[in-house]
Amino acid sequence: MAQLHWMILTLSTLCAFLPVLHASAGDADPIYKSCVEQCEKSGCVGNKCFQHCKFSSDGKPIDGPWYMQEPLYLRWKQWDCRSDCRYHCILAREEEREKLGDKPVKYHGKWPFQRVYGIQEPVAVALSALNLAMQFHGWISFFILLYYKLPLKQNKRTYYEYTGLWHIYAILSMNSWFWSAVFHSRDVELTEKLDYSSAVALIGFSFVISILRAFNVRDEAARVMVAAPLLAFVTTHILYLNFYKLDYGLNMKVCAAMGIAQLLVWAIWAGVTRHPSRWKLWVVVVGGGLAMLLEIYDFPPYRGFVDAHALWHSTTIPFTYLWWSFVRDDAEFRTLTLIKKVK
């Protein structure tokens, strides 16, 4: 969790490189494990104690009546006993490791981050929000161009044949970045599934758009024949992740396959088309490839805030602007071309 979170190449990495919460080196550290166990019993790490540890990690009271259980909104904002114990034990252990000259390690599949007002990864959340804002700006500018600047048909519909598809794309993109921000603010099972699902939906639909636009598929029946099997596959995959098994390895393969496939479609089309804005496609493809290196060469967060994934989020902001610029250019190019044919 966005969570892909708007450019062709990095759509695959949005899903393929989402945090995989497998066992990490930090989890196996006996000092860390002992710290968590003691904290869950005593409710304290050093001099810091937590009222949440009057309750078990599933919210049931260890002692006391039912009305003393933590409300859901408090558990969201202030976390629970196990989460607080893990977080402060990680900080304490990393402080010890730093004094010994050891490098940071991952705990439960994630680097140790500094919380800000209860937000787990504040920089990633802020950048996800900025990406969402850029998607919204791109969508609004696309809408204004089509309905207020370019000519319309007599029935007030646009000449551009892909208007509806880009509207859906914009909604899925904003949804994906919204859940990316939520997931990075609080990593729990629900937010993780919503982040993964929204990313898969976006990548799948982007793949559909790449085929329809590159091959200039305008007939509605032909569009359905192309889109139906792909959307059915994406829907089945999302249901599998949510209701059967959250298989990280399978999800990475599916997302990477769809991302690479659409990359090839766009790259080949950019190489053979005479579209006046094809250079923007190339910038997005090449720039996205370079940005993907941030996901491959992972490094621990600087001062507990900025890691490679957060930096990748920052690179998607200018590429989002350029991508929507291409979409607007495509709309204008197709509209003017169709008007000339009509005349």
| Helix H or strand E encompassing 45 | strand 44-45
Examine the domain organization and report whether 233 and 175 are in the same domain. Answer: yes
Bridge partners of residue 55, in order along the sequence: 61
Examine the domain organization and report whether 80 and 148 are in the same domain. Answer: no
Going by C-alpha positions, the residue among 189, 197, 198, 180 that lies closest to residue 239 is 197
CA atoms 280, 285, 268, 199: torsion sign: negative
The DSSP symbol for 180 reads H
Examine the domain organization and report whether 195 and 286 are in the same domain. Answer: yes
Examine the domain organization and report whether 77 and 194 are in the same domain. Answer: no
The DSSP symbol for 303 reads T
Write down the pLDDT at residue 123. Answer: 92
Write down the pLDDT at residue 145. Answer: 97
3-state secondary structure of 71: coil
Residue with tokens 């080949």: 268
| 336 belongs to a structural domain | yes
- The domain that holds 224 is classified in CATH as 1.20.1070
Write down the pLDDT at residue 65. Answer: 47
* 101: alpha, beta or left? (left if phi > 0; alpha if psi -120 to 50): left
Among 100, 135, 160, the domain-final residue is 100
pLDDT digits (tens), the chain, 343 positions: 433 334 444 444 445 444 444 557 777 888 888 898 888 888 888 888 877 676 555 555 454 444 445 555 555 555 677 888 888 898 888 888 888 888 888 888 788 888 888 788 899 999 999 999 999 999 999 999 999 999 998 889 999 999 999 999 999 999 999 999 999 998 888 889 999 999 999 999 999 999 999 999 999 999 999 999 999 999 999 999 999 988 888 988 898 899 889 888 998 999 999 999 999 988 988 887 777 777 677 788 888 888 888 888 898 999 999 999 999 999 999 999 998 887 6
Write down the pLDDT at residue 17. Answer: 46
β pairing state of 48-49 and 44-45: antiparallel
Write down the pLDDT at residue 277. Answer: 93
pLDDT per residue as tens digits for the range 122-173: 999 999 999 999 999 999 999 999 999 999 988 899 999 999 999 999 999 9
Q: How many domains are contained in the chain?
A: 2
Bridge partners of residue 152, in order along the sequence: 158
Examine the domain organization and report whether 169 and 246 are in the same domain. Answer: yes
Write down the pLDDT at residue 176. Answer: 96
Domain that holds residue 86: 25-100
Residues constituting the chain: 343
Residue type, 278: R
Among 100, 131, 154, the domain-final residue is 100
Examine the domain organization and report whether 72 and 193 are in the same domain. Answer: no
Examine the domain organization and report whether 71 and 147 are in the same domain. Answer: no
